[in-house]
Amino acid sequence: MTAYDAVVPPGGRGKIQATVGTHGLFGGVRKGITVSTNDPERPSLALSVSFVVANPLVATPPSVSFFVAQNESAAPVELVVRRADGAPLELSDLSIDDSAIAVAPAPAGPDRSEARIVVSLKTTATARRIQAKLQAKTNHPQRPLLAVDVFGAVRPLLWASPQSVALPRPPGGAETRANVTVQNTAGRPFRLLEARLEGEMAGCSASVLSTAAASLQVVQLTCSGPPPDAPRNGRLVMTTDVPAYLRLETSVSTVPARP
């Protein structure tokens, strides 16, 4: 919206006022204004207004993330929420839409415009992706609801990749190979005690490349000899020395390859 002095006599001064709204904006903003005049040298001029739109409620950090191995504990995150106008901040009805995550108010500091929330991931969280939203009611008239994203993943402690393997079987019976890696997502060393193929896996074998403890182990699958006349399905079964993961499985198939 603009307002201006329409007629300014010789030697006089005037103003053009531009009122800018900031609803729904965030960060650096630049707005232009085009002015038409009866000055023959400047019949049109371009004006600009720049500003930085700040959130009325600032959460630090702006989002919370947890990336953790299953059954591992993750450090709680303290979220500091602050009113940009410096007025006292009150939060109520704190909640989160994921039962594996706990949220609780933390003691407020001397600055009453700040509120603190502790966000923690329960160690009982199952292996999965985390995508949750923390919410709280606030006393800010323009931002009555605070929403903060909480994301991340609880990974299985041992993770085999890929989860399925397709091995081509060329007509001449040439050897084909593929690798399956098993990672300890907590970075701790472990051993693969055995790797074997079960199912319709004739002509194929599995072997653990290293018997030493490491956070990453590799199983090599090898197939050779006459190919099957049709795709065959089986599975790679691995045994480990990690108590909760004594047995891991990955699906394996063999596919006759075209000459």
Partner 1 sequence: MSSAALLLAALALAGAPSDGAAAPPPPRPVLVLASPNVDLGRVVEGESAVAVFSFENAGNADLRILSAQPG
Q: Which residues bind partner 1 (CB under 8 A)?
A: 2, 4-26, 31-42, 45-56, 84-85, 142-143
* Contact of 248 with 238, CB cutoff 8 Å: yes
Phi, psi dihedrals of residue 244, rounded to the nearest 5°: -80, -5
Task: Select 17 or 210, whichever has its Cβ closest to partner 1.
Answer: 17
Residue 162: both structure tokens together: 């890929």
Q: How far is the CB of 136 from partner 1 (least distance, A)?
A: 18
Task: Select 7 or 230, whichever has its Cβ closest to partner 1.
Answer: 7
Task: Give the whole-angstrom CA distance, residue 11 versus residue 33.
Answer: 24
Residue 31: both structure tokens together: 């707005």
Residue 89: both structure tokens together: 């901040």
Strand-by-strand arrangement of the 77-83 sheet? 57-60, 77-83, 114-121, 101-106
Task: Select 52 or 147, whichever has its Cβ closest to partner 1.
Answer: 52
The pairing of beta strand 164-169 with beta strand 247-256: parallel
Q: How far is the CB of 59 from partner 1 (least distance, A)?
A: 13
Task: Select 18 or 153, whichever has its Cβ closest to partner 1.
Answer: 18
Q: How far is the CB of 135 from partner 1 (least distance, A)?
A: 18
Half-sphere exposure of 180 (CA within 13 A, CB side): 31
Residue with token string 């108590």: 243
Q: How far is the CB of 140 from partner 1 (least distance, A)?
A: 9
Task: Select 17 or 63, whichever has its Cβ closest to partner 1.
Answer: 17
Task: Give the whole-angstrom CA distance, residue 235 versus residue 237.
Answer: 6
Beta-bridge partners for 155: 69
DSSP-derived 3-state class of residue 249: strand
Task: Select 113 or 251, whichever has its Cβ closest to partner 1.
Answer: 113
Separation of first and last alpha carbons in the chain: 73
Q: How far is the CB of 31 from partner 1 (least distance, A)?
A: 7
Q: How far is the CB of 113 from partner 1 (least distance, A)?
A: 13
